Amino acid sequence: MASVLNLAARRLPAAETSAAMRRRRQRLGLVQRLLDPLPAGLLAPEAQAERFWRIVRWAGLGVLLAWGLHR
């Protein structure tokens, strides 16, 4: 999966030939077909996603509090 994303994101020179532009469109189309909709393995269950964002939110506040108390 990572290699496909790297192929799609690769920058080509400014003076692209028509063949290079066609290959780029084909790569982007392939990535879009692969990821739209996201495969089941990349979808986070609602409870896990909620828990993840709660942890991120509280961890961020904890870092800010620790930094403020350290000063």
Mean pLDDT to the nearest integer, 53-71: 83
Mean pLDDT to the nearest integer, 15-41: 80
> Rounded to an integer, what distance in angstroms lies between the CA atom of residue 31 and that of residue 6?
10
Mean pLDDT to the nearest integer, 36-56: 76
Q: Which amino acid is at 43?
A: L
Residue 26 pLDDT more than 80?
yes
**pLDDT at position 71, please?**
80
Mean pLDDT to the nearest integer, 7-33: 77
Closest CA to 2 of 45, 37, 42: 42
Residue 69 pLDDT more than 80?
yes
